[in-house]
Homo-oligomer: A and B are copies of this chain.
Amino acid sequence: MIGVCYPKGFKACGVIAGFRQRPDFALVVSDKICNIAGVFTTNAFKAAPVLDDMKKVKEGKAQVLVINSGTANACTGSQGDRDVLDTCNYASKILNIPSSLILTASTGVIGRLLEMDKMYHGIDLGAKALGYDQGEIASRAIMTTDTVNKTCEKSLNIQGKEVKIGGMCKGSGMICPDMATTLCFITTDAEISSELLQKALSDNIELSFNSLTVDGDMSTNDTALCLANGLSGVKIEEDTETYKLFNNALCEILQSLAKKMAKDGEGATKYVEITVKGAKNYQDAKAVAKTVANSALCKTAIFGEDPNWGRVLCATGRSGAYVEPKLCNLWFEDVKIVERGEPLKVSPKIAHETMSGKEFHITIDLGLGDGEATIFTCDLSYEYVKINAEYTT
**A→B interface (CB under 8 Å):** 41-46, 72, 74-79, 109-113, 173-174, 176, 178, 215-220, 294-297, 300-301, 303-311, 313-318, 323-325, 338, 341-343, 348, 352, 380-382, 384-386, 388-393
**Does the CB pair B388–A75 fall under 8 Å?**
no
**Does the CB pair B217–A110 fall under 8 Å?**
no
**CA–CA, A167 and B389, complex, Å:** 36
Residue of B nearest to A218 (CB): B318
Residue of B nearest to A325 (CB): B45
**Does the CB pair B384–A310 fall under 8 Å?**
no
**Does the CB pair A316–B389 fall under 8 Å?**
no
**Does the CB pair A393–B306 fall under 8 Å?**
yes
Known: A296-B296, A301-B391. A74 touches B43 (CB 8 A): no
Most chain B beta-carbon neighbours within 10 Å: one of A41, A325, A389: A389
**Does the CB pair B215–A297 fall under 8 Å?**
yes
**Does the CB pair B75–A303 fall under 8 Å?**
no
The 10 lowest CB-CB distance pairs between A and B, nearest first, are A110-B310, A304-B389, A111-B310, A45-B317, A300-B388, A77-B342, A44-B317, A44-B323, A43-B317, A218-B318
**Does the CB pair B75–A295 fall under 8 Å?**
no
With a cutoff of 8 Å between Cβ atoms, the chain B residues found around residue A392 in the complex are 301, 306-308, 348
**Does the CB pair A174–B314 fall under 8 Å?**
yes
**Does the CB pair B74–A296 fall under 8 Å?**
no
Known: A44-B325, A75-B341, A110-B311. 5 other contacts (CB 8 A): A44-B316, A219-B314, A296-B384, A307-B393, A385-B385
**CA–CA, A300 and B174, complex, Å:** 12
Known: A75-B343, A110-B310. A217 touches B384 (CB 8 A): no
**CA–CA, A173 and B298, complex, Å:** 12
Minimum CB–CB distance from A236 to chain B (whole Å) comes to 34
Residue of B nearest to A342 (CB): B77
Known: A44-B325, A297-B388. A352 touches B314 (CB 8 A): no
With a cutoff of 8 Å between Cβ atoms, the chain B residues found around residue A318 in the complex are 41-44, 176, 178, 217-218
Most chain B beta-carbon neighbours within 10 Å: one of A41, A75, A348, A391: A75
With a cutoff of 8 Å between Cβ atoms, the chain B residues found around residue A110 in the complex are 308, 310-311, 313-314
